A = this chain, B = another copy of it.
Amino acid sequence: MEIPKFKTLEIIQKSPNPSVFHILLNNPSLKNALSLDFFTEFPKALISLDQNPEVNVIILSGHGDHFCSGIDLNAFNTLMKSQSKDQGRVRERFRREIKGLQNAMTAIERCRKVVIAAIHGACIGGGIDLITACDIRYCTKNAFFCVKEVDLAITADLGTLQRLPGIVGYGNAVELALTARRFTGEEAKDFGLVSKVFESKSALDEGVYAVAEGIAMKSPLAVVGTKEVLLRSRDMSVDQGLDYAATWNSAMLPSADLTEAVSAQIQKRKPTFAKL
């Protein structure tokens, strides 16, 4: 399968493990601010990688000195411009446009393959919406984070207020969202927002590749199932989530992957799994 080309994103495959792909936010002159084009291209990129059987794991990071400075002000101004005189119609359209932007973020959850955020430099506003929709997050020591929206007189509406509390706890999420204060990679680690802090950008890249390759070598079926059951269970009662997991596994097991994993363990070798 061919890798599609985008204006606001670069997709590369340079990891030793050929099933680890890399999406780079590609607007470095604006600290990878998210333009309206990004919101169109990003879900397309994820759908393409999701359907591509060569892809097992996706790393998301930024070109240049920063991960992401949030939504581009031009994008924002365009959204705010109304073409109708009727306030009702203006706002009904505006609501749909916000839902369109949200959709680009939630595309990460709809993608079956694992998406890992590798964050360096600034991760601000829309950047936080983006990483909280990812499955795992790592950052450099010099990374800094900010739930910035309230300082732009906006109530954050692309996912931070929905996903951050489950990741860092409700109290921490409220404090970060109401003060819009900067916090460091170390704090992000303490909060549970990132899983590890690396000394440098190169250490981050290396470390994230190692994690990504580790996941890429596992059973794709089990990885996809773990992501999906976690996401579905998040919005259910524990009893409903348990029943869902049982139903899931009654479909997906036994599988060739299970046979291979058990054989490999007995033979003390690395298992190899078919593409998904």
Known: A155-B229, A250-B92, A251-B251. A150 touches B235 (CB 8 A): no
Set of chain B residues within 8 Å of A211, measured between Cβ atoms: 179
- Whether A166 lies near B165 (C-beta < 8 A) is yes
Flag if B102 contacts A242 (CB, 8 Å).
Answer: yes
**Contact partner, A179, options B85, B163, B173, B215, Cβ 8 Å:** B215
A219 interface hit (Cβ, 8 Å): yes
**Assembly stoichiometry (copies):** 6
Q: How large is the interface on A (under 10, 10 to 19, 20 to 34, 35 or more residues)?
A: 35 or more
* Cα–Cα, bound, A56→B152 (Å): 17
Chain B residues with Cβ under 8 A from A255's Cβ? 86-89, 153
Find out whether the CB atom of A153 lies under 8 angstroms from the CB atom of B99.
no
A269 to chain B, nearest CB (A): 13
Task: List the B residue with the shortest CB-CB distance to A84.
Answer: B274
Contact A170–B167 (Cβ < 8 Å): yes
A246 interface neighbour in B98, B252, B257, Cβ under 8 Å: B98
Task: Decide: A86 near B161, CB < 8 A? Known: A178-B136, A178-B223, A218-B150.
Answer: no
> Main SS of chain A's interface residues?
helix
- A86→B256 contact, CB < 8 A: yes
Query: A247 near B: Cβ within 8 Å?
Result: yes
Query: A84-B274, A157-B248, A171-B193 known; 7 other A-B pairs, CB under 8 Å?
Result: A94-B249, A114-B178, A154-B222, A155-B252, A163-B170, A166-B169, A172-B195
Sample of 30 A–B contacts (CB below 8 Å) = A86-B255, A88-B255, A89-B276, A91-B250, A91-B252, A92-B224, A92-B252, A95-B247, A98-B245, A98-B246, A98-B250, A99-B246, A150-B226, A153-B257, A154-B261, A155-B222, A155-B225, A156-B226, A157-B229, A159-B242, A162-B241, A165-B230, A168-B171, A171-B192, A178-B215, A178-B227, A179-B215, A180-B218, A232-B240, A235-B238
